Structure 1
Amino acid sequence: MASPPPPEDALSDDGLERLFASLSQASGIVAAVSGGPDSTVLMHLLARWAASGSRPPVLIATVDHGLRPEAAAEAVFVGWEAAALGLPHTILAWTGDKPRTGIQEAAREARYRLLVGHALQADATHLVTAHTRDDQAETVLMRMARGSGLAGVAGMRRETDRSGIRHVRPLLDWPKAALLDLCRERGWPFVEDPSNASELYARVRWRRLMPLLAAEGLDAERLARLAGRAAQAEEALGLKAREVLDQADPIFEGNCLSFQAGILASEPFAIAVRALDQALVRAGFAAGRLDRLEACTERLRDALRAGEGSSLTIAGALVRLNRAGRVSIRPEPPRRRGR
């Protein structure tokens, strides 16, 4: 994939072509715009790109989480700006009761649920968000603090799938400061969300630490580079795990997937963990949590070396190792209460 243009070159025809190259085959594009400087730049660049040739329709969407009284007016403001650019705009409201804890994570889940639902309704194939290099650096730090493995440290992907909608982050290599400068230079109005300065939220607290880390050499650019290298390593390990699992005689019988368990003991631990995870996914279960996957893989390896059977549960699945050296994965049976 060609690298995106730097911000100063983004307004040129060639820069826009490079920036939005992966969107050219879309049937429709939903762009999430909150009204902040990052998404404001994204909206203006998409408008210029859409006007420069035969392009897929670009639809602007603003999620009103209903968490601040100003949010409704900000969403209307985005609508005015979108209309001035000739782009249709929709406000998506997060309604219903809000949780008292974990509000940012819940808001994130609601935001993507609403955006993906809107894209599906509009027959759009792509969702575009304005995540930046600074957002990537903060994500890497937060995931490291939670003890994430390589997949977590890899941070946000430039492109990923969300329920059949392609989620693209074209500004992921750009620093926030450059986008803010672009808004000011071009006179593009934007809003400022006061929650971005509230230390009630973990991301904001990490953001406050970034200048201290940068002074020691760990700036956003290096953290983003670490994320890229982790993503490359995770991809290589995942491909190797798939190859190993394919060679382990996987068999589907009804709602059960089984495979030769020897791979879990003969392969390096990192490959074995990913092979078990991929087997779970193939059997129709959600990917397991890393710490649980590691513990289950270790138990299965120990049983294999001892020539014993083993039975455990993970991610709603019952995983059994029989004495013939074969692992089976099927739905976990209902749990009985009492005796």
Structure 2
Amino acid sequence: MAAPPPPDDALSDDGLEPLFASLDQASGIVAAVSGGPDSTALMHLLARWHAAGSRPPVHVATIDHGLRPDAAGEAAFVAREAGALGLPHRILAWTGNKPRTGIQEAAREARYRLLADHAHAAGASHLVTAHTLDDQAETIMMRLARGSGLSGLAGMRRETKRHGIFHARPLLGWPKARLLDLCRSQGWRFVEDPSNANAVYARVRWRRLMPLLAAEGLDAERLSRFAERAARADEALGLKAREALEGAGVSEEGGRVSFEGGILASEPLEIALRVLEQALRRAGLGLETSRLNRLESCAERLRTAIGAGETLSLTIAGALVRLDRSGRVSIAPEPPRRRGR
């Protein structure tokens, strides 16, 4: 479902009700607030929605990644602002050694793990973040550059499940500029994160390119509309692949998944890819969208072997995939590799 655009009166009960409608039945809500204008606006909007009726409890959380000296002060600032709104606040620190490469990806994973753990501890069923229309557009372009397929190009979903918690993005249809204007017009104080202007990060470089793309007609709204269409196609293909896998006599036993391999050769490659991916996920394994080329290579090798009546054994994403003489494919966790002799 597409994220709704901002209403004309975003602060009215009529404007806030549809914005947070999916949160009405939550057992509790954790709002991730960094102190920037996007998440600050989210916090204030949630506070007004919460005060307007009988709502689930709202908890505010700020992550201190320990990567910048100003981060602790910014987290303390959010704590004060949340307290002024009557919302409980927690600072969640990412401790331990930090990787030298891939720091943004590692920080993202740590951030969601900390937020999900806090939600579980607080008895909250939902995590809310302030991702915007601009964030969606940047995400799509970054995934396109990495070679993602339809699943990746569908962008961020308005609601997903992560670590057993529902992750909602109610502002996904809102431009960043609207949230910045809202903060300024309402006098809501916020902080500026200098890393948002650091070109060492890929997202920042893409952000600088977006005005050039918009000048050619590829603006955030059109990219978001493209993501919605990709999501529809992705959902339809996923359903067809699930039907194909069930029709191939899929079975699960002791962490091992197997099915008749002929389905990989008889279905179009796009369906075969999804059949294989779904089987991997049923076995508790799977690929990131950036690893689509590995999944394609695996599916094509299996299709060739099936057509030739051959057996095959290969590994992918921590899984051992085997095609036996009867034409049945089995997927199980890859056994530990022996080192030395």
Same fold (TM over 0.5): yes
1:7 and 1:198, CA in 2 relative to 1: closer, same or farther beyond 3 A?
Answer: farther
1:124-143 counterparts in 2 under 5 A? 124-143=124-143
**Aligned residues of 1:36 and 1:191 also touching (Cα < 8 A):** yes
**C-alpha deviation, 1:326, in angstroms:** 1.0
Distance 2:2 2:151 in 1: 23
**Aligned residues of 1:37 and 1:183 also touching (Cα < 8 A):** yes
**C-alpha deviation, 1:104, in angstroms:** 1.2
CA deviations on 1:183-242 (whole Å, 9 max, x unpaired) are 111111111111111111110001011111111111111111111111111111111100
Equivalent pairs counted in the alignment come to: 339
**Aligned residues of 1:2 and 1:18 also touching (Cα < 8 A):** no
CA deviations on 1:90-124 (whole Å, 9 max, x unpaired) are 11111122222211111111111111111011110
Higher relative contact order (CA 8 A, sep 6+): 2
Tell me, yes or no, if structure 1 residue 242 matches structure 2 residue 242. Answer: yes
- State the match for 2:179 in structure 1: 179
RMSD: 1.4
Distance 1:239 1:10 in 2: 37
Q: Which runs of 5+ in 1 are unaligned?
A: none
1:101-250 counterparts in 2 under 5 A? 101-250=101-250
Which of structure 1's runs of 4+ aligned residues deviate more than 4 A?
A: none
CA deviations on 1:294-326 (whole Å, 9 max, x unpaired) are 111000100111111111111222111112111
**Aligned residues of 2:3 and 2:158 also touching (Cα < 8 A):** no
Output the amino acid matched with 1:111.
R
Tell me, yes or no, if structure 1 residue 81 matches structure 2 residue 81. Answer: yes
Secondary structure class of the residue paired with 1:131: coil
Distance 1:223 1:105 in 2: 23
Q: Which TM-score applies when normalising by structure 2?
A: 0.96
**C-alpha deviation, 1:5, in angstroms:** 5.0
**C-alpha deviation, 1:2, in angstroms:** 7.9
Distance 1:11 1:293 in 2: 47
**Aligned residues of 2:58 and 2:87 also touching (Cα < 8 A):** yes
Distance 2:132 2:255 in 1: 42
- State the match for 1:266 in structure 2: 266
Secondary structure class of the residue paired with 1:277: helix
Secondary structure class of the residue paired with 2:4: coil
**C-alpha deviation, 1:154, in angstroms:** 1.1
- State the match for 1:299 in structure 2: 301
1:256-335 counterparts in 2 under 5 A? 256-287=256-287, 289-335=291-337
Secondary structure class of the residue paired with 1:166: strand
Distance 1:183 1:255 in 2: 51
Q: Which TM-score applies when normalising by structure 1?
A: 0.97
Tell me, yes or no, if structure 1 residue 10 matches structure 2 residue 14. Answer: no
Moved more, 170-179 or 244-253: 244-253
CA deviations on 1:39-86 (whole Å, 9 max, x unpaired) are 011001100000011100000001111111111111111111111111
Distance 1:204 1:287 in 2: 26
**C-alpha deviation, 1:291, in angstroms:** 1.3
**C-alpha deviation, 1:337, in angstroms:** 2.6
Distance 2:257 2:127 in 1: 34
Secondary structure class of the residue paired with 1:15: helix
**Aligned residues of 2:150 and 2:231 also touching (Cα < 8 A):** yes
Distance 1:76 1:23 in 2: 27
**Aligned residues of 1:5 and 1:19 also touching (Cα < 8 A):** no
Q: Which runs of 5+ in 2 are unaligned?
A: none
Secondary structure class of the residue paired with 1:62: strand
Moved more, 171-180 or 303-312: 303-312
Secondary structure class of the residue paired with 1:323: coil
Secondary structure class of the residue paired with 1:318: strand
Aligned-pair identity in percent equals 76
